[in-house]
Amino acid sequence: MNRYLVPASLLGTAVGGAVLFKDYVAGGACPSKATIQGKTVIVTGANTGIGKQTALELARRGGNIILACRDMEKCEAAAKDIRRETLNHRVNARRLDLASLKSIREFAAKIIEEEERVHVLVNNAAVMRCPHWTTEDGFEMQLGVNHLGHFLLTNLLLDKLKASAPSRIINLSSLAHIAGHIDFDDLNWEKRKYDTKAAYCQSKLAVVLFTKELSQRLQGTGVTVNALHPGVARTELGRHTGMHSSTFSSFTLGPIFWLLVKSPQLAAQPSTYLAVAEELEGVSGKYFHGLKEKAPAPEAEDVEVARRLWAESARLVGL
C-alpha cells in the first residue's frame, strides 16, 4: 500500500478549497442579475480576452452589442461565436483601430449616423509592454491606444451618450497605474530611453486621471464614468511580456498563477458589473478593483494633473 496515497475525500476538500480561494482572490461573479434589454453597448477590443467575454456577458443580458476591433476577420468570428452562444442576433462587428485617429473618427461618425442610442461604452482595448512602437499619428503605442485613442473616441461619442442618458462609460485601467507617473515633458518617450513597463504604467494612470476629469465634466448629464482594474487574466494582452513562453513561469510559478490569474470570463465580471448594476446608477468618477470600489494611487486623484492631462490630450488628438 502506498503510504503517500491521499484519501479521495481529503483530495476533494483540498481541490474544492483551492477553487474557493481562487474565486475569492479573483473577485467572483457579477452579483447583479440586471438585464439591459434593447440597450446599445460598444466594447472596444472585443475580438478576444476580456473584451470578448464582456461582450458575451452583455449580449446574454439582452444588449445590442457592437464589437469594435482592428482585425475585422477576428471581430466577425467573435461576433458569430457570441451570437451562437447567446442566441442574441443583435451582435455586430465594426472596424476600429485605436492607433489611428482617422479610424477613430470614421468609427464614431458611423455610430453617430447609424445608431439611435448608445447606452454603454466599454473602453476595453489595450496594448501591454510592447516594443517601442508608435501609432499612425506618431504617439507612443501604449499611451496612444490605451489612453489617447479612447480619449478621442469617448469625446466624439459624448453627445450620443448624453442623448441616451442614463448611460455609462467604463474605462479599463490596471493596478499597474500605481507605479505610473505622467511625464508632461516627454509623454511620448521621445527624449528618454524607452522603458516599456513604465510606459504601460503611465498609460494606465492616464486612464484613471481621464476618468476623474471626465466625471467632473459630466455632472448633471446623466452619463457616468468609472475606471476599473479587472485583475490579471490569461489573455493575449500579455504576449509581449514573455510570461507565456518562459519555462520558469510555466513550471515554477504555475501553481501561483493558477491561484492568482483569472480566466477571461472571470476578469470580465467587473466590466459587466459596472455596465449593468442598478445599485451603481449615478456612481461616477470612481476606481474599482474587481467588484469593489477602492482608492486609486495618490497621483490618480491629483485634480491639477488630471486637468493638465486633459488639455494636453485634447491638443494631441486635435479636439
- Which residues participate in catalysis according to the annotation? 200
Phi, psi of 300 (to 5 degrees): -70, -15
Distance CA 154, CA 149 (A): 9
Taking every pair of Cα atoms in the chain, the longest distance, rounded to a whole number of angstroms, is 75
**Neighbouring residues of 296: CB distance < 8 A, sequence distance ≥ 6:** 177, 178, 208, 227, 287
DSSP string, the chain: --TTPPPHHHHHHHHHHHHHHHHHHHT-S-------TT-EEEEETTTSHHHHHHHHHHHHTT-EEEEEES-HHHHHHHHHHHHHHH----EEEEE--TT-HHHHHHHHHHHHHH-S---EEEE-----S--S-B-TTS-BHHHIIIIIIHHHHHHHHHHHHHHT-SEEEEEE--GGGGG----TT-TTSSSSPP-HHHHHHHHHHHHHHHHHHHHHHTTTTTEEEEEEE---BSSGGGGGTTTTT-HIIIIISHHHHHHHSBPHHHHTHHHHHHHH-GGGTT--S-EEETTEEE---GGGG-HHHHHHHHHHHHHHHT-
List, in sequence order, every residue forming a beta bridge with 69; answer none if it has no partner. 95
* Nearest of 128, 229, 127 to residue 170 by alpha carbon: 229
